[in-house]
Amino acid sequence: MAFNFNIDEKPAVRSTRQQLKPWNIYDVKFTGCEIREFNGKKDPSAHYKVLAINFENEDGVFSVTNFFPKEGDDERHSYDGKNGGKVEMPSNFETLMAIVKQTAMVLNPEGFEKMQAASSKFKSFDDVANALIKITDKVKGKETKLKLIGRNRDGKVVAEIPRILGINKEGEAFVADNYIGSKLFFSDYEEGKRNEYLGSKPTDMSKKEIDIADEQEKDDDEFDLANL
């Protein structure tokens, strides 16, 4: 066997980063929005598109990732309240648009105003996503704060942004929380859940390393590759 002592340009450091952990408010750098497309695992003929809003810091990375809207995503759902009655939830589409608006307003207020003015001409969510990408490309590297809570999935706590939209008694949608910005905080209820998480044994998936180029997984009606 002949030895080759040439030092090539191949990476000598593993390019993996862990996901940011649940229940924390992080100082992060915005690294850009992007549209990702991929085929389904269970049904390769199925094709999916997602909008990813990406952040990073020295501790890891996080991507706010949502599917493009599909038929039925404009329907609201409800569940039984603890004190009786029904609690109405915003539709997936309402939540998605609220995330887009909050992201744009915080990262590039002037760009958001231009996007808002042009929105009457939008024909699809592709137009919305591409406009968001265009105005936020100008502020890549901007520093901000990111609020992550935790959701139990299959017995493991995974990080996600808080629910930023609510429905009042009149049936109107309102901004219930911020996931991004300079002034973020946990409510008393969230502080209790955070203390529970911090006091428990670390069983969350945030310790799992991911390749930067890989798709990140979320759950339910948001982003779960395992169910595709």
Residue 222 located in a structural domain: no
- Digit-by-digit pLDDT tens for the chain (228 residues) are 677 777 877 777 666 779 999 999 999 999 999 999 999 888 888 899 999 999 999 999 999 999 999 999 999 999 988 887 888 999 999 999 999 999 999 999 999 999 999 999 999 999 999 999 999 999 999 999 999 999 988 888 999 999 999 999 899 999 999 999 999 999 999 999 999 999 875 544 444 443 333 333 333 444 444 444
The pLDDT, as a whole number, for residue 203 is: 47
CA atoms of 188 and 191, how far apart (whole Å)? 5
pLDDT digits (tens, 9 = 90+) for 76-114: 999 988 887 888 999 999 999 999 999 999 999 999 999
The reported pTM is: 0.81
Residue 213 located in a structural domain: no
Structural domains counted in the chain: 1
Question: Residues 186, 221, 78, 197: is their CA dihedral positive or negative?
Answer: negative
Residue 194 located in a structural domain: yes
CA atoms of 200 and 110, how far apart (whole Å)? 43
The pLDDT, as a whole number, for residue 1 is: 64
Residue 28 located in a structural domain: yes
The pLDDT, as a whole number, for residue 51 is: 98
The pLDDT, as a whole number, for residue 224 is: 47
Residue 227 located in a structural domain: no
DSSP output for 85-137: SEEEE--HHHHHHHHHHHHHHHH-HHHHHHHHHHGGG--SHHHHHHHHHHHHH
The pLDDT, as a whole number, for residue 221 is: 42
Q: What range does the domain containing 26 cover?
A: 18-207
Residue 178 located in a structural domain: yes
Residue 126 located in a structural domain: yes
Closest CA to 206 of 147, 158, 154: 158
What three-state secondary structure class fits 193?
Answer: helix
The pLDDT, as a whole number, for residue 42 is: 85
